[in-house]
Structure 1
Amino acid sequence: MELTIADNTEKKRFETQVEGHTAIIEYIRAKDAIYLTHTEVPQALGGKGVGSALVKGVLERIEKEDLKIAPLCPFVAAYMKRHPEWKRLLAKGYNV
């Protein structure tokens, strides 16, 4: 699933629109890392892979920015555990 992901800096979240609904990952940016704090996918999109596609897209974007991440959100951490190739982005002191 290909998503168009926007960085809504005012609301401090990554967003995507699917079928008229907005799925998000909230974050806190620090100097050299980004803390992913919460993922929310509307019920209408549940079970369609939107959450996983959103996490993947956000991780790709973060990697391009040359940042490390702290996966405080359980959904993001679970995704990274299932896809260990993304562990390369973990900030020092974080594990999944």
Structure 2
Amino acid sequence: MSDEVTVTDNRENRRYEARLGAELAGVLTYRVQDGIAVLPHTGVEPRFEGRGIGGKLAKAALDGAREQGLKVAPWCPFIAAYIKKNPEYADLVAAGF
């Protein structure tokens, strides 16, 4: 198994997927409505925790929102904490969050 994490946007299933080699290591779900990417859940498989996979998912989703001109609604506590630790994403947060 490769140690390299790859993150892709699976638009059909509305989720970002992190893989270690061929194995699905984590997902970040989203939906887009009214110009806002709602980010309700981030999850990493227990055996892959502690490898920074959640952070890679968060970065990919936030960079993707920026590229698409979307604001974000960080419903997921992990994403909210990630934005707090990485204030360069604070401008993406939709009003009220």
Q: 1:82 aligns with which of 77, 80, 85?
A: 85
Is the CA contact (8 Å cut-off) linking 1:3 and 1:57 kept in structure 2? no
Give the Å deviation of 1:3.
4.7
- 1:4-19 correspondence to structure 2 within 5 Å: 4-19=6-21
Give the Å deviation of 1:23.
1.1
RMSD: 1.6
In structure 1, what residue type is equivalent to 2:46?
Q
Give the Å deviation of 1:52.
0.7
| Counterparts of 1:21 and 1:40, CA distance in 2 | 11
Asked whether 1:61 is paired with 2:68, we answer no
Q: 1:29 aligns with which of 27, 32, 36?
A: 32
Q: 5+ unaligned residues in a row in structure 2: which ranges?
A: none
Percent identical:
37
Q: Secondary structure at the match of 1:76?
A: helix
Alignment length (residue pairs): 93
| Counterparts of 2:12 and 2:29, CA distance in 1 | 11
| Counterparts of 1:7 and 1:36, CA distance in 2 | 13
TM-score, normalised to structure 2, is 0.85
Q: What residue in structure 2 maps to residue 48 of structure 1?
A: 51
Q: Secondary structure at the match of 1:17?
A: strand
